[in-house]
Amino acid sequence: MKKFGIIGPGAVGTAIAYALNQSGHIVSLFGRSHSTVQFQEYNQNEQHELTVHSLQEANETVDVLFIAVKTTQLDSIIPYLNNVIHSNSVIILTQNGYGQLEKIDHPNKYQAVVYISGQKDGHHVTHFRDWTLKLPINDYTLDLQQSTQQSLLNIECLEDYAEQVWYKLIVNLGINTVTALTRQPAKVLNAIEVKTLCYNLLVEGKRVAEAEGVYFNDDLENSIMKIYDGYPDDMGTSMYYDMINNRPLETQYIQGYIYQLSQKHQLSTPHIDSTYAILSTFQ
């Protein structure tokens, strides 16, 4: 039977650990130190306690490792990866943004496009919705899909993985940028100038995706704006919460990743360039 490990007992990592635990898999959750974390579904009373093991002191390897720390925390766990992986382990990076996989020195590594929504507060994780990880299709990811199919976790192995990556990047580019910079939740889109800025970010994000060979239909910007319109006024984004709580922002691998590619392709992306310039001062 496969052994699963998760580094990062936060919103995403604890949800993955819970989902695998529920279906009887062997799961180890690794954090900064030995502790526990409480997992709870939104609107349900039942709490589930999960044990957290110290990553630094870990000495048992796993077959599949999910890395669910924030992009800003990735460097701090890399020196300890060999405590928990062997040469045939499969590593799934479950983070927003893109480009950070290069930091991991291992042949079997894949980044998931994450659709698991939750929040960590102290030692308590609330799961709001979704259990989906979208991955490129190959023998390793299909094997992972097969071995987790009885669990709550929904692993999708996709031919159009690159499109999925860019779709999520562009969705994050718009709303994360404007909510973080204005320090306001989704209601900030009620201001027409901010809405226009957000729309222009989507237009430019799509331009960068196309330069990378990923094409969307003409309606992409409007369809994403419609999704934002459905957000409750008081809904924040992860970058908004990081900003108002003075935590490091995941700018480098979201806006920064797109900005670097825009520079590489010598594109005109003035809204991305200027908002990235300001956001990058908050690292």
Closer by beta carbon to ligand NDP, 36 or else 150:
36
Interacting positions 217-246 with ligand NDP (CB under 6 A): 238
Told to check if 11 binds ligand NDP by CB under 6 A, we report yes
Q: Which of 70, 109, 134, 271 binds ligand NDP (CB under 6 A)?
A: 70
Interacting positions 104-143 with ligand NDP (CB under 6 A): 114, 116-118, 120
Minimum Å distance from CB 116 to ligand NDP? 6
For 26, what's the count of Cα atoms within 13 Å in the CB-facing half-sphere?
Answer: 8
How far is Cα 198 from Cα 186, in angstroms, rounded to an integer? 11
21-60 footprint of ligand NDP as x/- string (CB under 6 A)? ----------xx----------------------x-----
Told to check if 280 binds ligand NDP by CB under 6 A, we report no
Told to check if 176 binds ligand NDP by CB under 6 A, we report no
CA-closest candidate to residue 199, choices 226, 231, 239: 226
Minimum Å distance from CB 43 to ligand NDP? 16
Closer by beta carbon to ligand NDP, 56 or else 150:
56
Q: Which of 96, 151, 176, 255 binds ligand NDP (CB under 6 A)?
A: 96
Per CB under 6 A, residues contacting ligand NDP are 7-13, 31-32, 55, 68-71, 73, 76-77, 94-96, 114, 116-118, 120, 238, 250
